[in-house]
Structure 1
Amino acid sequence: MHEDYINIILADDDEDDRLFFSDAFDELKITTRVKTFNDGVYLMDYLNSEGTVLPNVLFLDLNMPRKSGLECLQEMKKNDKFKDIAIAIYSTSASEEDIEKTFVMGANIYIKKPNDFKTLKKVLEEVVTINWQYYTNGLNKDNFLLRL
């Protein structure tokens, strides 16, 4: 079944970041459906629910209350149901340790949150128009961190 929109989910506890993110997609000329969650528990409850339409791309903030992005990532990688979701780590941190850890855990791309709206739009457009088939096959560390 192929829909003509890209299904996007963002899990992020920062309300401003969630608004920014949704606004950026509103302005892009890409047909998307964006859903946001403010913590990892809500996210995983949603993803694990019967009949949920799984996202094409999931943006995951690392530092969230109750359940962190790392915990969500770990949970998702253990479950075959989620194997086709492209997982983008979306974090204010660009520490080598976080990048290394999420790479090893199987995330698809790492994005350091941009601080201005124009860059954010560019980043999001780039990420949702990536050909993930190609991108996830030869996953290597060089193209894991999105550089603009």
Structure 2
Amino acid sequence: MSTKPNKSIFLADDDEDDCLLFEDALREVSTSAELLTASDGVELIDLMEKTVPPPPDVIFLDLNMPRKNGFECLDYIRKTKAWEHIPIVIFSTTGQEEMVRKVHEKGANFFIRKPGSFPKLKQAIKQILDIDWTKHSWTPARENFHYQY
């Protein structure tokens, strides 16, 4: 675990129910984590421009969103010098191998297919929050990149 007591987490997802479920799961995993949400990619970039620095500890990024999708956000964040090292976890309903490969190549740190149950969602969030990003490889091996719960 990080020595920083409060984790700052950004979630970009256009599905309001998924956001509420994520927030509930996060609260059960970590009562001290701060969650900021964006309903699409344009909102996420606006949020980052207003609040970073300090950077969030991790960004959970959905792929299928209006206005600016997850691929475009990932690309934009990785090309922005001040943000390029922020850990990004793709958090999507799709598990298509082509999508997983594409976001791996674009520099995402992990790909998690949205779990089908609340306990599995909590497990996925806990697993990501337990990562010490200061010691983690920025280019994870392809076989360690995609988690399905």
Q: Considering the TM-score relative to the shorter chain, is it more than 0.5?
A: yes
Which amino acid counterpart does residue 105 of structure 2 have in structure 1? Answer: V
Cα offsets for 1:46-72 (capped at 9, x unmatched): 112365532110000000000000000
Unpaired stretches in structure 1, ≥5 consecutive residues: none
Matched to 1:74, the amino acid is: D
137-146 vs 91-100, which deviates more?
Answer: 137-146
Task: Decide whether aligned partners of structure 1 residues 40 and 138 sit closer, same or farther in structure 2, where only a CA change above 3 A counts.
Answer: closer
C-alpha contact 1:56 1:84 (8 A) present in aligned 2: no
Corresponding residue number in structure 1 for 2:137: 136
> What letter matches 1:102 in structure 2?
V
Answer yes or no: is 1:4 the counterpart of 2:5.
yes
Deviation at 1:84, TM superposition (A): 2.7
CA RMSD of aligned residues (A): 1.7
CA distance in 2, matches of 1:136, 1:82: 16
Task: State the match for 2:18 in structure 1.
Answer: 17
CA distance in 1, matches of 2:125, 2:4: 20
The letter for the 2-side match of 1:63 is: N
Distance of aligned partners of 1:72 and 1:26 in 2 relative to their CA distance in 1, 3 Å threshold:
same
User: Do the aligned partners of 2:77 and 2:83 also contact (CA within 8 Å) in 1?
Assistant: yes
TM superposition score normalised by structure 1: 0.92
2:137 is paired with a residue whose SS is: helix
Moved more, 125-134 or 12-21: 125-134
Q: Distance in 1 between matches of 2:59 and 2:103?
A: 14
Could you tell me how far 1:40 is from its partner in structure 2? 0.5
Runs of 4+ in 1 over 3 A off after TM superposition: 50-53
Q: Which residue of 1 aligns with 2:104?
A: 103
Give me the TM-score of the superposition, normalised by structure 2. Answer: 0.91
- Percent of aligned pairs with the same amino acid: 39
* Pair 1:63-2:64 in alignment: yes
Q: How many residues align?
A: 147
Q: Which amino acid aligns with 2:29?
A: L
